[in-house]
Amino acid sequence: MRIQDLPYPDPGVPDARSGPRFLWWLFRNQLGGQLKSLAWGLLHFTAVCGLPFCVGLAVQAVVDRSGERLAWTGGLMALCAAGVALGELLLHRAAVTNWITAAARVQQLLARRTAQLGSALTRRVAAGEVVAVSTGDVEKIGWFVEAVSRFTAAALTVVLVCVGLVVYQPALGIVVAVGVPVLALAVLPLLPKATRRADHQREKAGRATELASDTVAGLRVLRGIGGEELFLERYRRASQEVRHAAVRSARMWALISAIQVLLPGLLMIAVVWYGVHLAREGRISVGELVTVYSSVMLLTYPLRHFEEIAMAYSFSRPSAKRAARVLSLKRATDTEGSREAVVPSGDLYDPETGLLAPADRFTAVVCGDPDAAGLLAERLGGHPAEEGTSVLLGGVPLDELPLSSARAAVLVQDKDPVLLSGSLRELLDVPASGAVSAEEALTAAQCNDVLDSLVQGSLEADDPMDARITERGRSLSGGQRQRLALARSLITDPEVLVLDEPTSAVDSHTEARIAEGVRSLRASRTTVVFTSSPLLLDRADRVVLVHEGQVEAVGTHRELIHGEPRYRAVVTRETDDEAAPHEVLDGGTNPHDEKTTAVRGPAAHRVLEEIGLEEIEETA
């Protein structure tokens, strides 16, 4: 796999049972790149460690006054130098490729899992943790995956050098062969403590990231209530905790690095002392002593990769664990889709609640609990938070459809839609049927003033479609963001459109026009709106009251406002005192008659507005 070939056509199915298993899966899936890195690493390290032998041969040739041997040695040194340069160049290229491709694979896997889980992701994993995994953690995972091949090359080189020294000069070679494993394993007792400190640092950093993202997301509200300083102080404390944890972790890694410098130095002192003793006794030549000393000195280069692999694993293990945790999450109904990728049509029915949304009709759903409404909206879209009976569309269970088909059939817009940064044209460039134009959708969503606002705020855009929208639409008001999101949903023109409180942030006049626009534009489609707004309810073909997870009443808005106390309590927001016994204005007719029922208190005015002036005259 080359960098220019990214992204992967298919990143594969990861082994997310644990962090180490996930790392091993990543390593196996780019085995070709690892073997390339290993080959170039062996060339580079063996060429580096071959230089001391050349130096020893050259010194001995000078001592023996042999010009021919010195010339051959010079040629051999040039060959080693070329190997060092070529190996370093291609090793670095292969290592960086392995790093980037491994990180890209993890990012693709995370993006795919995020898309599959949808809104259920942030209910299971904190948003700050998701950000940490998809940014810093993927780099640490890629670092370890690519470092494995370099470490393997370094380890093989160390073994070859030790064996070569034992054969070349047994007396000093045995000393080196015994001392090198001690150097490599000396830091192992310190690694668990260093890993714990690194884990603690990452936990603090993840908490600080989560706190920062929450603060930025709610900055406008915080400024409105004067609470930004409180949250900034909390972030300062979290940031200081991260700094203290990072310093403690750095101290431990500094100690490990110091040991990796000290012990090789002690080994070189021992080799020189013992070698000089052997040279004085005439048991070794000067050239052999120089060769062994130079070999030990250059062995510190591949030995540094032992420290690096320890650091890489210590940092990547918790990162891989977090990534595996996210990748192991599944939808409550995670099937591969046994049916063909055909978008069904027909009535939308939820067997669990009894909610029925007839095809090509405008159905409004009233829930007293906003959280329950959001969960039910997600169920209707095939994204249930918990396992249960599947929602049926035209008699076809959504759970049995491929995810792409289910999402093409039913589109759910939640109560807090997100606008990505970019131009308005890019925002509205979404998969669509082509039956609804951008102008029609924007008109139905009453976005004329939003377009004017975007043009005024953009100095370079004369066309509103080219106006820039900031991240999450923060430069727009809540109502403007809602209307743009609604227009985006209308453009897609799905078979079923589920809207959760689409007009909660707009004024009543705009809300009335939006209700008419959506009803007109979606005349031949199925639309389900979760709302308690009388203006939307009054324009719905069918209104359904859901109470405690079950359908309690079905009818029109005007029928339910008079005949169903629970519905009236939700829509009019009346209190228990205001919901006192209703009086019959004409004295004695059926109290459930929609023409004669009245309420007391302030709620009466709201109810009379819902009934209409003509009905007030009739009851009088």
The pLDDT, as a whole number, for residue 338 is 46
- In whole angstroms, give the CA distance from residue 489 to residue 432: 9
Cα four-point dihedral sign 135, 136, 140, 141: negative
Residue 194 reports pLDDT greater than 70? yes
Q: What is the pLDDT of residue 163?
A: 87
Q: Which residue has the higher pLDDT, 160 or 470?
A: 160
**Residue 91's pLDDT is what?**
92
Strand pairing category for 392-393 and 396-397: antiparallel
SS3 341: coil
Question: In whole numbers, what is the pLDDT of the chain averaged over residues?
Answer: 81
CB 466 within 8 A of CB 423: yes
Topology (CATH) of 348-574: Rossmann fold (3.40.50)
Per-residue pLDDT tens for 83-111? 999 999 999 999 999 999 999 899 899 88
Contacts of 283 (CB under 8 A, 6+ apart): 171
Q: State residue 450's pLDDT score.
A: 87
pLDDT at 167: 86
Percent of the chain with pLDDT over 90: 25
Residues shown for the chain: 620
Tell me the pLDDT band of 297, cut-offs 50, 70 and 90: confident
Q: How many CB atoms lie within 10 A of CB 34?
A: 22
φ/ψ (deg, to 5) at 87: -65, -40
Burial of 274 (C-beta count, 10 Å sphere; 0-12/13-18/19+): middle
- Does pLDDT of 341 surpass 60? no
Burial class (CB in 10 A: 0-12, 13-18, 19+), 24: middle
- Give the C-alpha separation, 276 to 282, whole Å: 10
Give tens-digit pLDDT for 25-64. 999 998 989 999 999 999 998 888 888 778 878 888 888 8
Candidate from 424-433, 467-476, 530-539, 570-579 with smallest mean pLDDT:
570-579
Q: Looking at per-residue confidence, does 563 or 610 come out higher?
A: 563
Q: Which two tokens stand for residue 36?
A: 């390339």
Q: Residue 192: pLDDT band by 50, 70, 90 thresholds?
A: confident
Q: Is 425 exposed, middle or buried (0-12, 13-18, 19+ CB in 10 A)?
A: middle
Distance in angstroms (rounded) separating the CA atoms of residues 113 and 120: 11
Helix ranges restricted to H, 29-66 = 31-63
Alpha carbon 64 to chain centroid, angstroms: 67
The pLDDT of residue 608 is 35
The 10s digit of each residue's pLDDT in 448-476 is: 888 888 877 776 767 888 888 877 777 78
CA–CA gap between residue 606 and residue 534 (Å, rounded): 10
> What is the topology classification, in CATH, of domain 3-328?
ABC transporter transmembrane region fold (1.20.1560)
Give the model's pLDDT for residue 528. Answer: 95
Q: Which one, of 10, 16, 13, lies nearest residue 329 by Cα? A: 16
Task: Provide mean pLDDT across the span 297-323.
Answer: 83
CA–CA distance, 65 with 252 (Å, rounded to integer) = 51
CA distance to 50, 53, 55, 80, 149, per residue, from 77 (Å): 8, 9, 8, 5, 26
Q: Residue 353 in contact with residue 548, Cβ under 8 Å?
A: no
CA dist 570 and 345 (Å) reads 32
pLDDT reported for residue 268: 82
Taking the model in full, what pTM does it have?
0.64
Tokens of 113: 């899992």
* Predicted local distance difference test score (pLDDT) of residue 589: 37
First to last CA, the chain: 81
Residue 397 has φ and ψ, to the nearest 5°, of: -65, 130
Averaged pLDDT for residues 60-73: 84
Q: Which residue has the tokens 């909610």?
A: 355
- How far is the C-alpha of 4 from the C-alpha of 157, rounded, in Å? 32
How many whole angstroms separate alpha carbon 524 and alpha carbon 519?
Answer: 9
Q: Say what the pLDDT of residue 574 is.
A: 65
Handedness of CA 440, 442, 446, 448 (dihedral sign): negative
Gyration radius of the chain's alpha carbons: 36
Ordered by start, the domain boundaries in the chain are 3-328, 348-574
Burial of 620 (0-12, 13-18, 19+ CB in 10 A): exposed
Structure confidence at residue 567 (pLDDT): 92
Give yes or no for a contact between 497 and 489, defined as CB atoms under 8 angstroms apart. yes
Name the residue with higher pLDDT: 391 or 593. 391
Amino acid 189: pLDDT: 83
Question: CB–CB of 394/344 below 8 Å?
Answer: yes
482's tokens: 């809602």
Long-range pairs for 614-619 at CB < 8 Å and ≥24 separation? 619/585, 619/586, 619/595
Is the four-CA dihedral 176, 180, 183, 188 of positive or negative sign?
negative
Residues 6+ apart with CB under 8 A from 557: 364, 534, 537, 538, 540, 543, 571, 610
- Where residue 591 falls among pLDDT bands split at 50, 70, 90? very low
How many CB atoms sit inside 10 A of residue 309's CB? Answer: 18
Q: Does the pLDDT value for residue 333 go beyond 70? A: no
Cα(8)–Cα(30) distance, rounded to whole angstroms?
Answer: 12
**Which residue is it, tokens 């000093």?**
172
Q: What is the pLDDT of residue 231?
A: 74
Select from 99, 82, 81 the least CA-distant residue to 150.
Answer: 99
The mean per-residue pLDDT over the stretch 118-126 comes to 67
Q: Give the per-residue SS3 of 430-477.
A: CCCCCCCCHHHHHHHCCCHHHHHHHHHHCCCCCCHHHCEECHHHCCCC
SS3 218: coil
Say yes or no: do domains 3-328 and 348-574 share a fold.
no
Backbone φ/ψ region at 533: left (φ over 0), alpha (ψ -120 to 50), beta = beta
Q: Which of 78-92, 370-384, 489-503 has the lowest mean pLDDT?
A: 370-384
C-alpha 215/C-alpha 234 separation (Å) is 10
pLDDT tens across 396-446, in order?
888 888 777 887 889 998 888 888 888 888 889 888 888 899 999 999 999
H or E stretch at 565: helix 565-572
Q: What is the pLDDT of residues 264-289, one digit of tens each?
A: 888 888 888 888 888 888 888 877 78
